[in-house]
Amino acid sequence: MDKLSFDGPVVLAVLDGVGLAPDSDGNAVSKARTPFLGKASKKYPHLALDASGLAVGLVDGQMGNSEVGHNTLGSGQIIKQGIARINEAFESGEVFESTAWKGAISRIGSVGTLHFAGIFSDGGVHSDISHLFKMIGRAYEEGVRKMRVHAIFDGRDVPPTSAIEYIKQFEDFASQFVDADIKLASGGGRMVCVADRYENDWSVVKSGFDMMKWGKAEYYFHSAEEGVSALRREYTGVQDQNLPPFVIVDNSEKPVGTIEVGDALIYFDFRADRAIEIAQAFTYWDFPYFERGNYTPDDVYFVGMTEYNSDTHVPEHRLVEQIVISDTLSQFLGLHEVSQLAVSETVKFGHITYYFNGNSYEKVSGEEHIQVDSYTEPFETRPWMRSAEITDAVISNLEKYKFVRLNYPGGDMVGHTADMNATIVAMEAIDLSLARLYQKVQELGGCLIIVADHGNAEELLDNEGRAKTAHTTNKVPCIICDDTVNRSRYELASIMNPGLANLAATIATLLGFNEYPKSWQESLIVVNKY
């Protein structure tokens, strides 16, 4: 017999944003007291996996992120996606041949304004400012002379106080179009303006909607650089991601770029999780989340860089069609009647469900999801997050399912603040939870796989000793915790450059399958034949 068989479940625990790096002043992972992880990495089969660049379908050298990480984990495939897919669409001309681009240009005619909004950096995780520049240049070639940009400042995927650098890049670029009227019209940090995700806080979306559509905000300035500089003086130590929203006004104190009836708005983020809610705000007729005034979706031609929800196909107009991911692990297990459970808290719930399932919220046969509500306070003030509650939910349901997947967000969400002490606490809370979780998995005769989707918490300082909030290109851990009789029946496979895409086949193998879709990367383990 050459099939594995566990009495208990196979459990996949994703430690979001926990990479591998040498001990250093900026490594919160190595500084944290994590006795369970320390013992597990010595006792059980373990290896380092590629979780960035080409290994997850991005451009070479591009840091990994949670979206592509979970897509790759759940599909078992290396699929060109994210910035790699969008770059290709710009190079081929697909963007400008799309009906959405042509519709936006047609909509504004000779009197309307073409607006752009999105995360205003070259981080390459949600967006890239170079795409904005290419669209402005093309619109100018096609006769558009009035354009406005609403900047969602980053500070998470790029240095935490780099906003003015991107403002200057934009202004230098716009200055070459001497007979055009191209301006920044508003701005705000991504964590407090526009870019909420998983419906954690609709007030974030409302602040961005009001800022862009109505020119309403807490602050008003005559330039974006003035605004950022003034807010940094008022809020000492504020990172770009938390800059309050502001509107730019002219000498008569009138907003320079509200979105008017007949205008077009292109939202240039290509990653869905922080784009879907603002897309809904501009496109849904039945919209219960906040009051939009006398706005209706007919007023503005809204365009997304790509599709932000492949189940509901939002938005209707998009520049690049979403990739189609088939043969996912969930689909495979559903076809073979393997019961499944997915658990996380709000801020990563969509990753362990929607992205893991190949960009779909639809459950397969035998699959269930449990969402634990995240705290609404800043992550560094509650760095343990909901690790304990996630673990409680999993433990109480372990006997009902054969495959369970969960996501502990602390390494990523707290790591993005670059707060060392808080990130250490996050890691220690996760370690305590893993110890509790594995004790129950052991009792049931199951197996626990520990992995991460990308790095972050292991590198909170850059090479010059400055705070680093961005993801990393470091490899991530993979540990197979197994104390059952099965452990003597398999060994690690010899794979050159193993990565996240090898996990789906590994899970299938642990669940007793000798065959899996040919599109998948091979399993990390080999079962000994008798």
| Whether the Cβ atoms of residue 311 and residue 324 lie closer than 8 Å to each other | no
DSSP string, 320-344: SPPP---S-HHHHHHHTT--EEEEE
Taking the C-alpha atoms of residue 306 and residue 316, their distance in angstroms, rounded to an integer, is: 10
The residue with tokens 């980053």 is: 154
* Sequence-ordered list of residues with C-beta below 8 angstroms from that of 141, at least 6 positions apart, any chain: none
Taking the C-alpha atoms of residue 33 and residue 239, their distance in angstroms, rounded to an integer, is: 28
Taking the C-alpha atoms of residue 408 and residue 450, their distance in angstroms, rounded to an integer, is: 11
Taking the C-alpha atoms of residue 307 and residue 321, their distance in angstroms, rounded to an integer, is: 6
* Sequence-ordered list of residues with C-beta below 8 angstroms from that of 172, at least 6 positions apart, any chain: none
Helices (H), 162-315: 163-174, 202-209, 224-234, 276-283
Q: Work out whether strand 476-481 and strand 490-492 pair parallel, antiparallel, or are unpaired.
A: unpaired
Q: Which of 92, 90, 82, 93 is nearest to 59 (CA)?
A: 82
Helices (H), 258-318: 276-283
Distance of CA 504 to the CA centre of its chain: 20
* Sequence-ordered list of residues with C-beta below 8 angstroms from that of 325, at least 6 positions apart, any chain: 71, 75, 77, 79, 358, 359
| Whether the Cβ atoms of residue 371 and residue 386 lie closer than 8 Å to each other | no
Q: Which residues are catalytic?
A: 66
| Whether the Cβ atoms of residue 409 and residue 433 lie closer than 8 Å to each other | no
* Sequence-ordered list of residues with C-beta below 8 angstroms from that of 134, at least 6 positions apart, any chain: 90, 95
* Sequence-ordered list of residues with C-beta below 8 angstroms from that of 417, at least 6 positions apart, any chain: 239, 378, 379, 380, 423, 469
Q: Work out whether strand 10-15 and strand 447-451 pair parallel, antiparallel, or are unpaired.
A: parallel
